[in-house]
Structure 1
Amino acid sequence: MMTHRSRRFSASRKPASALFLLILASLIALPSAHGQTTPATQPPAQQQKPDQPSDSAGPETDSGTIVLKKKKEADEPPPPAAPAEPKVKNPNNETYSLRVDVPIVNLDVNVILDKTHQFVPGLKAPNFLVLEDGVPQTVTSVHMAQTPITAVMLLEFAANSYYFINDMQNASFTFFNTLRKDDYVAVVTYDLRTHILTDFTNDKNVIGSALGSLIIPGFSDTNLFDALYETLDRTSRIEGRKYIILIGTGRDTFSKITLDKILAKIKATPNVTIFTISTGGMVREMTEGHGGMGGAIRDLNYLQADNQMQTFARMTGGMSFKPVFQGALPDVFGTINDSIRNQYVLTYRPTNNKNDGSYRKIKVLLVDNEGHPLQMQDEKHKPLKYSVIARDGYNAKQAVE
């Protein structure tokens, strides 16, 4: 041991220049030696594919970088669920449906001055008081209507008197001259039976030819009830508002239909307005009160005929006229034209909404803003009398079976 230590001590005693060269040589050789050697204590790095499953049964671990995945939309709180529909258990699992029909009544109303027969314009919904079976109704809307007409000229053409036929011809041609190009008119005559001369047409040449053919009558019977019943039955198949211009004496001889049945038919036929013009006014003025017992019976028959004609018109919202002179006919049909081409259409929902098929009685009145009867005056502040013309009533719908 002493020898080894001396050797080292002897080496330490070498000159300084040699020592410097030794240190410089070791510094130059150090980097290359370090790059060629690998420490024995550090194990080689292992590469692991992330997609390969491990053979180990335990959970897979990753010692690499921690990656935070993006939060999925499913992790957001879901919207609140809709409330569940109530479940109704029907007996025998049957399905039921409910249908509600809310009735609406459209009522054609005319307001005419009694003296001049002029139409009264400018009325509003609060001015109309509608009573249905005596119960006030709320009028929801009122509007003016002026439309082409669809009319039947129902003419008495019987071999009973030349004066009656002449009056009928004059009245029918006067009405014919008031027609417009969009008006549709049918011509029907009656005696013992009903005869359709022309169906509905707006060709005035066809209508004029039909009226011109009324020269020689056949029978002397006047079955008015049968003819009116058949005409109402035919017009009920046509949609919209219809008019019947009934020109005749109003007498009935051998109809199969009774007065009660024809009145019931009128009630049951909607959207039909009847205007009546009685013929033979001049002859009646000259013969009334003459002829003894036979004349009295004749006068009574004509009074009954007038009452029937007025009833037909009143029930449907029309008007009845008994002109004596031919010169009055233009005014008569001027009034009819004002009535059928200018009218108020009232709409209301009846308080009695039962579909029981019953007949509902209607009455229309005019009132002021305070609910009092409406007063009309002329330019000189004189009171004017007026008439409110509307149907007497209507039949409610039948219940749906």
Structure 2
Amino acid sequence: MRTALACAALLLCAVPAVAVEADPLFWPEEQRAFWQDGPGWLLTEEQRAAFLALDEAGRAAFLQGFLDRDPIPETAENELREGIARRLRLAALESGTPLDVRARLLFLQGPPLAREVIDCGVFKPLELWSYGATPETARPLVLYRPGASEPFRLWVPLDSKKSLYTAEALRWVEDFDELRLRGKRIDRIYCPDAKKVDAATGVVGLRGVVVASIEKIGPDGTIDPSKGKDYYWARPKNRAAFLGPPADLAAWARAAAATRLPPAAGTLEVAGLDLDFPYRAGQRLMARGIVAVHGTGLVAAEVEGTPRLRLRLEGLLERDGQIFETFRVRYRVPVPAGGAAVPLVFEAALRPGQRFLLRLRVVDEGSEAQAVLARSLAVPSDPVSRLGALVEGAAPGEALPPGLGRRDSLLLLPPVGEVLIGAWRAEALVAGDRIQKVVFLVDGQPQLTRTLAPFSAEVRLDPFPREQVVRAEGYDANGELVAADQVVLNQARGTFRVTLEEPRRGSRSTGRVTARADVVVPEEQSVAWVEFKVNDAPVARLTEPPWQTPIDVPPGEDTAWVSVTARLEDGAETEDVRFLRAPANLEEMDVDLVELYAAVTDGSGRFLRGLEAKDFEVLEDGRPQTLARFEMVETFPITLGFIVDTSTSMADALVESQRAAASLLSQLMTPQDRAFAVGFARFPYVVISPTDDAAGVARALEGLQAMGSTAYYDALITGLYYFRNTKGQRAMIVLTDGEDTASRSSWEQALEYTKRSGVVVYPIGLGVGVLSLSARSKLEALAEATGGRAFFIREATELGAVYSQIEDELRSRYYLAFNSNRKEDAAGFRPIVVKAGKGKVRAARGYYP
């Protein structure tokens, strides 16, 4: 062992380092594969640093010398080369990318002594791998998949046990802990294997005490069970050691060369991979590849009465050490004469000027024989076409989502409404005979299973609107995934932007915190990924909401920041940055102001104009606040929402309400203002999305018809959701004639969401008499909580006068902003009182930070 390392070190020193290219994607494929795909993991940190400093010739010389030096010279074979080949094969059978920690473990440690898949819906995809000489001395590793398109990673205590739970299960467990409930833990009720996860992580429950008994571990690493319960080998350095280079390369080579491989399915022969970039696809260039598969040995089958070869190509693109994109293509081609080669063509749209690592797996579905290829590629700035003649004779493929084919397929119908809360009837259209079971999942958590058509289920959603992913998975009789589809609910639409919502601006974060972003997506577009970085170092890349991840704030006093970048499928990107620890001269600039809008009236109810900042006093939780900004809002942009009751009882009032609304819009709206409308009967529905077209909103309101019951609370929440990511004055007019009769949401939920929105609400009760105490009190509560005003009228003809008063108020309010002097970590609702010495103030009663 020492001789081999010494020779490698001498070889590194003997080769001059000139013209060094640090990015392995620019290296020859043999050198890149050595470094990234397995053998490079055998090098010590010193060897790796020295290897990176070499030029191409130096790397080639080192690579050759490293592989040729037999660490066990007394035997005839080179166990190092044989061991590397066997472990690479073992890793490739497990995963298509070495970014998957399972592939790295198999290469470095070989097959685990025990492997258990935890599949109960409480945890994210999770496996327990145990390594050791015997079951008694084996140590478990926790491997989990953080997101749907991410590779498995090794869990360490710094990740927090929260990272292992699905979103819904985490809420259960947190509630159980927070309420200090007694009895069997909620996750163990739904997942008996949670006890095994406790043991493997060393953390009982969510925040349980870690039991440490270092004395239990002997100097040789064996465990003495008589010395108590040991969880503490689970320290990060102990777990990370499994991914480090072997301490004894000769011992590793001997064990790796003896690795037993599963029965080989066969190897396809391919003539190589060629690429060009023939045309533009929007802002991207289309990468076109061709792979020629030797026809000898391919197994044909009858497809619709004709012999056909059934081939499948699985592709994976890596960039900056992360999975960028995956794709699958299926081919059904005639059997070639005389075993001639079968050329397969595929395409992927990539952004110009970027470099990727392309990994391909070609599979003969008849025999399961396969071939694995990898190649780095640089996307040029302009199209380059040179494969025209070759492509003309190539077999076209059929692009497939993972597991999805055309004959046996599944399609999840998108929702009719734009904002969904509480529950949604999900319907999956299934084609073919193979799918026998459909599982419906929300945010990765299985909820319901259907084994008979029609495949539909009412899935549970959050009571407040937020982005949620509903997925349907179709399985055959053997439990194999055949097809899948998903939809994103409540996705924010509008001008493309991403905003960091947490950590909050102006806070000085320490330790581990949650970074959360809000993404607004243009119509007809979808998000490719959202990436978080800390001090420009990548932390997480997510491909579906929720757009949040835990981050570690760097220790010390140096400037630190978190950034988020969102990318659309067409390649467009946008980003936002927030300081975690700002320089002293930027602290004031990097603080979120608490913004209030206040109307002031005299004893006769007339609005008072011309007041100054000194005339106002603002108290938060009883503490005086200093105003940082103050002005009249006559020219402030307004976003105005109309929430209109269209239940059957409103039939006689709709025409007049439409006429009054059109008059208000024409007088109030300027080119910088926006308005939208939501109608509600049994369900809320969008009449027109936010627009600066006042006439268009008026025309949309004219088409309303009265029919059905009254989902008033759901409509409130739906309307308020359309104000997210809007700035300036935000006001919502709610017109209804009675109590709620059909909402899924409760009154308490609707009021709470209203308080959180920061939108002033003007409820109008039509025909709500003085004896309708419950209905009147609820309308008044909405107005009082938000700084609005409740109106009660007998006839729809009075709406014109009411709308005039609302218009006058919206142009007569004052804008007040201050930096809260309350402690940053104070959570929950913060009560606000605004006073003016010269009149009565109407403003929101508080806010949520």
Structure 2 length as normaliser, TM-score?
0.30
1:389 matched to 2:842? The reply is yes
Q: Which moved more, 1:158-167 or 1:329-338?
A: 158-167
Is 1:127 the equivalent of 2:597?
no
> Would you say the 8 A contact 2:600–2:840 is kept in 1?
yes
Task: Output aligned runs, 1:168-247, within 5 Å.
Answer: 168-169=657-658, 171-182=660-671, 183-214=673-704, 216-219=705-708, 221-247=709-735
Give CA deviations for 1:26-82 in whole Å, capped at 9, x if unaligned: xxxxxxxxxxxxxxxxxxxxxxxxxxxxxxxxxxxxxxxxxxxxxxxxxxxxxxxxx
Greater share of residues in strand: 2
Give the Cα–Cα distance (whole angstroms) in 1 for the partners of residues 644 and 618 of structure 2: 34
Residue type matched to 2:831 in 1?
K
Letter in 2 for 1:110: A
User: Closer, same or farther in 2 for the Cα pair 1:387/1:326, shift >3 Å?
Assistant: farther
| Whole-angstrom distance in 2 between the partners of 1:309 and 1:167 | 21
Aligned partner of 1:273 among 749, 756, 760: 760
**1 CA distance for matches of 2:555 and 2:667?**
61
Change (3 A) 1:204 1:366: closer
Match of 1:352 among 822, 826, 830: 822
Q: In structure 2, do the counterparts of structure 1 residues 212 and 262 end up closer, same or farther at CA, with 3 Å as the change threshold?
A: same
Q: Which residue identity does 1:196 align to in structure 2?
A: V
Q: What is the SS of the residue equivalent to 2:631?
A: strand
Tell me the amino acid that sits aligned with residue 829 of structure 2: Y
CA gap of 1:141–1:235, structure 2 versus 1, over 3 A, is: closer
Indicate if the aligned counterparts of 1:245 and 1:274 stay in contact, CA closer than 8 A.
yes
| Cα distance in 2, alignment partners of residues 141 and 315 from structure 1 | 23
Say if 1:177 and 1:258 are closer, same or farther in 2 by CA, change over 3 A.
same
1:142 pairs, out of 615, 630, 634, with 630
One-letter amino acid of the structure 1 residue matched with residue 843 of structure 2: A
Deviations 1:176-224 (A, max 9, x none): 343334232112100011121111222233222212212x4231x1111
CA 1:133 to 1:94, structure 2 compared with 1: closer, same or farther past 3 Å?
A: closer
Q: Distance in 1 between matches of 2:817 and 2:775?
A: 34
Give the whole-Å Cα distance in 2 for the aligned partners of 1:144 and 1:237.
22
Report how far residue 129 of structure 1 moved: 1.4
Q: Number of residue pairs matched? A: 266
Is the CA contact (8 Å cut-off) linking 1:167 and 1:280 kept in structure 2? no
Partners of 2:607 and 2:777 in 1: CA distance: 25
Give the counterpart letter for 2:693 in structure 1: D
Bigger drift between 253-262 and 170-179 goes to 170-179
CA contact (8 A) 1:109 1:388 kept: yes
Which residue of structure 1 lines up, in the alignment, with residue 596 of structure 2? 107
Partner-residue secondary structure (3-state), 1:199: strand
CA distance in 2, matches of 1:364, 1:242: 19
- Post-superposition offset of 1:113: 3.4
Structure 1 residues 111 and 243: alpha-carbon distance in aligned structure 2, compared to 1, 3 A threshold: same
Q: Is the 8 A contact 2:787 2:842 kept in 1?
A: yes
Whole-angstrom distance in 2 between the partners of 1:170 and 1:150: 20
SS of residue in 2 equivalent to 1:235: coil
- Pick from 715, 724, 736: which aligns with 1:248? 736
- Name the aligned partner's letter for residue 691 of structure 2: T
**One-letter amino acid of the structure 2 residue matched with residue 277 of structure 1:** I
Deviations 1:82-108 (A, max 9, x none): xxxxxxxxxxx9654344665532221
* 1:125 and 1:140 in contact (8 A); partners too: no
1:389 is matched by which residue type in structure 2?
R
Do the aligned residues in 2 keep the contact of 1:118 with 1:335 (CA within 8 Å)? Answer: no
Q: Name the counterpart of 2:528.
A: none
Which ranges in structure 1 are unaligned for 5 or more consecutive residues?
Answer: 1-92, 289-298, 368-373, 375-385, 397-401
Q: CA deviation at 1:226?
A: 0.6
Which deviates further from its counterpart, 140-149 or 249-258? 140-149
Shift of 1:349: 2.5
1:151 aligned to which of 627, 631, 640: 640
**How far is the alpha carbon of 1:319 from its aligned partner?**
1.1
What's 2:775 paired with? Answer: 305
Q: 1:174, 1:279 → 2: CA distance?
A: 19
Q: Percent identity?
A: 26
Task: Report Cα offsets for 1:113-142 as digits up to 9, x if no partner.
Answer: 353x43201211221111111122233442
Structure 2: state its 5+ residue gaps. 1-553, 559-580
Deviations 1:342-362 (A, max 9, x none): 221112222214243332100
| Cα pair 1:148 1:341 within 8 Å, conserved | no
Q: Distance in 2 between matches of 1:170 and 1:387?
A: 32
**Mapping of residues 274-293 of structure 1, within 5 Å:** 274-280=761-767, 284=769
Q: Counterpart of 1:279 in structure 2: which amino acid?
A: L
Contact persistence 1:157–1:191 (CA under 8 A): yes
The runs of at least 4 consecutive aligned structure 1 residues that moved more than 6 Å come to none
Would the aligned equivalents of 1:150 and 1:241 in 2 still touch at CA under 8 Å?
yes
Q: Secondary structure at the match of 2:678?
A: strand
Structure 1 residue matching 2:810: 3-state secondary structure: helix
2:522 equivalent in structure 1: none
Q: Which residue is 1:323 aligned to?
A: 793
CA distance in 2 between counterparts of 1:181 and 1:351 reads 36
Q: 1:235 & 1:132 partners in 2: Cα distance?
A: 24
In the alignment, the residues of structure 2 paired with residue 164 and residue 245 of structure 1 have an alpha-carbon distance, to the nearest angstrom, of 16
Which of 727, 732, 750 matches 1:262? 750
> 2: distance between equivalents of 1:323 and 1:105?
34
Residue type at the aligned position of 1:261: Q
Q: Secondary structure at the match of 1:253?
A: coil
Question: What pairs with 1:29-108 in structure 2 (closer than 5 Å)?
Answer: 95-97=556-558, 98-99=581-582, 102=591, 104-108=593-597
* Pairwise CA distance, 1:173: 3.9
What is the distance in 2 between the residues matched to 1:342 and 1:356?
33
Give the Å deviation of 1:394: 0.9
* Cα distance in 2 between the residues matched to 1:348 and 1:203: 33
Distance 1:202 1:157, change over 3 A: same
Instruction: Give 1:230 shift.
Output: 1.5
CA contact (8 A) 1:275 1:319 kept: yes
The two structures have a TM-score, normalised by structure 1, of 0.60
Show the counterpart of 1:336.
806
Partners of 1:126 and 1:303 in 2: CA distance: 39
Partner secondary structure for residue 178 of structure 1: helix
Q: Higher Cα Rg: structure 1 or 2?
A: 1
Instruction: Tell me how far apart the structure 1 counterparts of residues 832 and 657 of structure 2 sit (CA, whole Å).
Output: 33
**What is the CA-CA distance between 1:243 and the residue it aligns to?**
1.3
Q: Is the 8 A contact 1:107 1:346 kept in 2?
A: yes
